[in-house]
Amino acid sequence: MPQKSKIEVTEKVKITREYVSGKISREEAARRAKVAPASIARWARIYRQEGALGLAPTKKNRVYSSELKKKAVLEYLAGGCGLHTI
């Protein structure tokens, strides 16, 4: 079950944009958001892949087709990409 965010989505997007653009460090972003630096790295990855909407809270878990899951596993096992890229 997803945890409720401790920070408003608008503030999360603002901090993430500043970090991704290089205006602030990951540690500074983490300090401002009162989260672990690993969370900032995760937000940045999501922001780069999905944009600001990816940081918005969701009501339910994402559902992926069996075909997509199989393709992702095979690509990962073949060394085509890393775990976070999939």
Per-residue pLDDT of 12-54, as tens digits, reads 999 999 999 999 999 999 999 999 999 999 999 999 999 999 9
| Any domain includes 65 | no
Residue 19 lies in a domain: yes
Domain count, the chain: 1
Residue 49 lies inside a defined structural domain of this protein = yes
Tell me whether residue 78 is in a domain.
Answer: no
Q: Which residues contact 24 (CB under 8 A, 6 or more apart)?
A: 15, 18, 32
Q: Has residue 43 been placed in a domain?
A: yes
Residue 36 lies in a domain: yes
- Provide the residue range defining the domain that includes 32: 1-57
pLDDT above 50 for 1: no
Residue 58 burial (10 A CB sphere; 0-12, 13-18, 19+): exposed
- pTM equals 0.66
User: Would residue 3 count as lying in a domain?
Assistant: yes
Residue 7 lies in a domain: yes
